[in-house]
Structure 1
Amino acid sequence: MALKKPPTAVTTEHSGRQHERDAAGLLKQLTDSNAEVRRWAARDLADCPGCSEALVEHLKTEADTSVREVILTSLVLLGDNTAVYGLVACMRSEDAALRNEAIEAMKQLPDAVSPIMRGLLADEDSDMRIFAVNILESLKHPSVEQWLSDVIEHDDHVNVCATAVDLLGEVGSRTALEPLLRLKTRFDKEPYIQFAADLAIKRILEG
């Protein structure tokens, strides 16, 4: 008697991908009640330029964590301006999880994010400026140190500068020493700034 082959991963994949895989069909599947269908649709939309806006909009309402993760991955793979500005909009959300997801995604897009970084660091909302510094934590871009130095030279918000100086202590070079000393002068009544700047200076000199 012939043995039957057990179901394979292909079978499982097919069960969630029974619909059309063109952009229109995939966008329709993003609203399917089955999370597996939505997950496969979100993954396949990474190959569909022009779908970033729809992915961002769906990200704002998607309840399933695994689907959200795939949407974010697809947005990073698409990496166009629409994806980046959509993620910036998510950073302004009241939903803390969505904000953090957007920040983590933007860390993976140095070339797409770098043209707007100065704008983010000058945003009128101090929280947005802090989020922008958080992006710099893992953003592999040659201007990271300069951006951080500009923040501690010009930003008047103590929490923004505190976030920047903490990171500058990790990534800064001796070029950052003068800006750090000037920061101590600007915030001479702020104990944490004095402590953090001294620590950053110590790390740079020892590094």
Structure 2
Amino acid sequence: MKQLTDSNAEVRRWAARDLADCPGCSEALVEHLKTEADTSVREVILTSLVLLGDNTAVYGLVACMRSEDAALRNEAIEAMKQLPDAVSPIMRGLLADEDSDMRIFAVNILESLKHPSVEQWLSDVIEHDDHVNVCATAVDLLGEVGSRTALEPLLRLKTRFDKEPYIQFAADLAIKRILEG
């Protein structure tokens, strides 16, 4: 763990890689991830966190999603996409976060999550979220992964946002894809 603060990026990279085999090291990796400037070291830290996949790693990645650093936010989202079993228990909470950006990021995670509840989570978003951008993000993905079960929620979304041209377009497209699929 001491090597994570070494001035040499190669030493930090190897330290981050070696810590993937060290249960209980997620906290140190997350803390270092928040300040690491070298892209290659960050990539290895993220890989180690995915390999560890414990609650500390997942909640640390959630904290990174709240960062002002766009690259760190995107890296955290990509890492979380690789942790379906670890992320699924907290997904409802992420989708209900008070910050609409966090809810959008959560929908982005669902894109690759490969979890049996993805369609239901997306349907819940379009049924209950009041933020048009969150719903727009969810309806776009629902058009790719949805089944006929999503048709009624999509129709209700169109009614709820009847003055939003993009929602009308996206919902119609999703409905068309589902019916053709």
Structure 2 residue 35 is the aligned partner of structure 1 residue 61: yes
SS of alignment partner, residue 71 of structure 1: helix
Partner of 1:187: 161
Alignment: residue pair count? 181
Q: How far does residue 168 in structure 1 lie from its aligned partner after superposition?
A: 0.2
Give the fraction of aligned pairs with identical amino acids, expressed as a percent.
Answer: 99
**Match of residue 69, structure 2, among 89, 95, 100:** 95
TM-score (norm 1): 0.87
Q: How far does residue 75 in structure 1 lie from its aligned partner after superposition?
A: 0.1
Q: Write 1 or 2 for the structure with the bigger share of helix.
A: 2
SS of alignment partner, residue 116 of structure 2: coil
- 1:160-200 per-position Cα deviation (integer Å, ceiling 9, x unaligned): 00000000000000000000000000000000000000000
Structure 1 portions without partners, runs of 5+: 1-26
Structure 2 portions without partners, runs of 5+: none
Give, in whole Å, the separation in 1 of the partners of 2:83 and 2:161: 33
SS of alignment partner, residue 56 of structure 2: helix
Give, in whole Å, the separation in 1 of the partners of 2:6 and 2:130: 47
Partner of 2:78: 104
| Alignment RMSD (CA, Å) | 0.3
- 1:2-43 per-position Cα deviation (integer Å, ceiling 9, x unaligned): xxxxxxxxxxxxxxxxxxxxxxxxx00000111110000000
- Report 1 or 2 for greater relative contact order, CA contacts < 8 Å, sequence distance ≥ 6: 2
Give, in whole Å, the separation in 1 of the partners of 2:130 and 2:7: 48
Structure 2 residue 45 is the aligned partner of structure 1 residue 36: no
Give, in whole Å, the separation in 1 of the partners of 2:69 and 2:109: 18
Q: How far does residue 136 in structure 1 lie from its aligned partner after superposition?
A: 0.3
Report which of the two structures shows the higher radius of gyration computed on alpha carbons: 1
TM-score (norm 2): 1.00
- 1:120-142 per-position Cα deviation (integer Å, ceiling 9, x unaligned): 00000000000000000000100
Q: How far does residue 49 in structure 1 lie from its aligned partner after superposition?
A: 0.6
Give, in whole Å, the separation in 1 of the partners of 2:38 and 2:68: 18
Give, in whole Å, the separation in 1 of the partners of 2:33 and 2:122: 30
